[in-house]
């Protein structure tokens, strides 16, 4: 009988260990998914900001004006070539 009891206790301990591992794995997976989601959103936001900035510079040039990189704004007309 002693061997059967040890087997039952061992099986219960293994089942408890497996259940604990599954719970920890699910929590960790959720955290990784959330972190990945945040990381991807930040990358999309950065890409959108770059595209918006590029569009402002192109619109400035299309209007025949000069973009000041230091000030980050559109200035007066572009100088004529050779001047």
12-40 b/e (C-beta count within 10 Å ≥ 16 → b): eeeeeeeeeeeeeeeeeeeeeeeeeeeee
Contact 60, 74 (CB under 8 A): yes
Mapped onto helix, strand or coil, the DSSP state of residue 77 is strand
Question: In the chain, pLDDT over 70 holds for what percent of residues?
Answer: 96
The tokens for 42 are 């930040």
- 4-42, pLDDT tens digit by residue? 888 888 899 999 999 999 888 888 777 778 888 899 999
Question: Sign of torsion, CA 10 13 18 19?
Answer: positive
Q: What is the mean pLDDT of the chain?
A: 88
Could you tell me the pTM of the whole model? 0.53
């Amino acid at each position: 009988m002693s061997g059967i009891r040890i087997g039952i206790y061992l099986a219960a301990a293994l089942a408890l260990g497996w259940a604990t591992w599954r719970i920890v794995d699910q929590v960790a997976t959720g955290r990784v998914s959330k972190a990945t989601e945040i990381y991807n959103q930040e990358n999309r936001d950065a890409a959108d900001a770059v595209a918006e900035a590029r569009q402002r510079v192109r619109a400035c040039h299309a209007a025949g004006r000069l973009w000041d990189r230091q000030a980050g704004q559109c200035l007066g007309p572009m100088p004529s070539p050779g001047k």
